[in-house]
Structure 1
Amino acid sequence: NLPASLLGELIDTLDEGGYKRVAVVVDMRSGASIAALPAQVKRLRERVGDLRFIFLDARSETLIARFSETRRRHPMASEGVSLQEAIQSEREALEEISALGVRIDTSELHPNTLRNWIKDIIQASHADSLSLLFQSFGFKYGIPIDADLVFDVRCLPNPHYDPVLRPLTGRDQPVIDFLEKIPEVGSMAEDIRQFIARWLPAYQRDNRSYLTVAIGCTGGQHRSVYIAEWLARRFADQARVMVRHRTAARRVSDRAADAGGVFGGVVGK
């Protein structure tokens, strides 16, 4: 963890040493200097160009559980300040910072999945264009807090009730075949595509680096996965596109790690 106030000095030292790639972690232990981070990031982007900013977040109940399990003290906790109050204070202090780049809700993520998502972000080609992140999730696990747009597809027929399709995901061909036969599925997907296409230029004019579109069904395994993949293919020639599957990834993360794979990835340019 690097104090935010030393970020500029670190880059100067690395430049002198000829280093081209470096990862820096900054958190609330930087104290009051954390408030200067947005201005420092802006200056660094103007200076080095290719700078990726990743903000890791989690729901409050998840953070409370993690602090309880590790028995670590929150950096903003003190006598008379509860852990929940400290977390809320941290959220308020980091609100501006959370918008500097891509935000990842780690609440339900397997470590292997998080690692692969970060690799995708770092390895994606850098350009001035906005990156589209399509993310599937299950409403029963909560709405991801890193989403900019949320679409609910729970009204569509659910493959879960077919015993053959139940253990599969929306990326498996039998599930794809099942959903593609239903007119409402195609209509829903097309309506979402048109909405995003209509407003994407406005987000691009806002100089955003990332736009996260979350597609939710009940369990996050079939319908939302299928539509997220469908949308990613439709926008692949218009923007840098990435796909995440929050809930379904938990079911296959161990298998994907063993095979050296990732459930999700970069689709577009």
Structure 2
Amino acid sequence: MLEAHTPRPEDERAELLIITGMSGAGRTRAAAVLEDLDWYVVDNLPPTMLLPLAGMMTASGAGVRRLAVVVDVRGGEFFADLARVIDDIRAQDLEYRIVFLDASDEVLVRRFEQVRRPHPLQGDGRILDGIAEERRVLAHLRERSDVVLDTTDLTVHELAAQVRDVVAGEADRPLRLTLVSFGFKYGLPLDADHVVDVRFLSNPYWVTELRHLTGRDDAVRDYVLALPGAQDFVDAYVSAVEPVLDGYLREQKPYVTIAVGCTGGKHRSVAIAEAMAERLREDGNSVRTLHRDLGRE
């Protein structure tokens, strides 16, 4: 549940996120999602170190542009410095947002019981005692937060989607695809999510004037794509894989590898991988091509 939301800084500005909230509400998961989105993430940072770390940020070029720090009651007596540090950050006119993760007491108790760990503030008391004390300590910080995420009814995947959308503003970030051409005689790529076999196409290797070229050369590409069924295969495969890619995004799998293979990984697989990549880019995907076995013959 989003209770407050301040505008996201412009892309050219350095971004600082202070992630805090109730223990067991999903801070670690939120930090992991941001790290996957190329944020520089520091967990359990003493508040007094926040200002020097923020001073390392740069708007562009080398250095840290997007910094997320997890600051919470695990810091013990150091955590008391956070309010003063936030005031210092504001006084220096640094862009920052506070993200507070929360959940119901019932859910927090259940989560602690599932992992069989004590609440950091419960001492000799019950888990509920620790939760009550943490709510008291964090009350002022929750009021100052820009974004409050209630994770009571969220699965880990739903929480990740909320972080990508509300916190990082990257709900529409395109899927990042890698198309790898390879030769079956050298083995399958170990990281392939999908494997495409294009050995049904005639092999340019047997055409004397094409043998020394690769699928990157115009002559080979034109030859392969003009073969019966080649272009139809590219079009049909891209159409068939589109709902799969949409599903990967829903399931928080933003990186996908499609391996395209022929006998030696030099002609057909290279040309077809490049043709598929071009079609997928037209659909708004971020695509790179990698030709694993070029140069092995």
**Shorter-chain-normalised TM-score: which range?**
0.3 to 0.5
Point out the structure with the larger helix share. 1
Using structure 1 for the length normalisation, give the TM-score.
0.48
Using structure 2 for the length normalisation, give the TM-score.
0.44
Q: Which has the larger radius of gyration?
A: 2
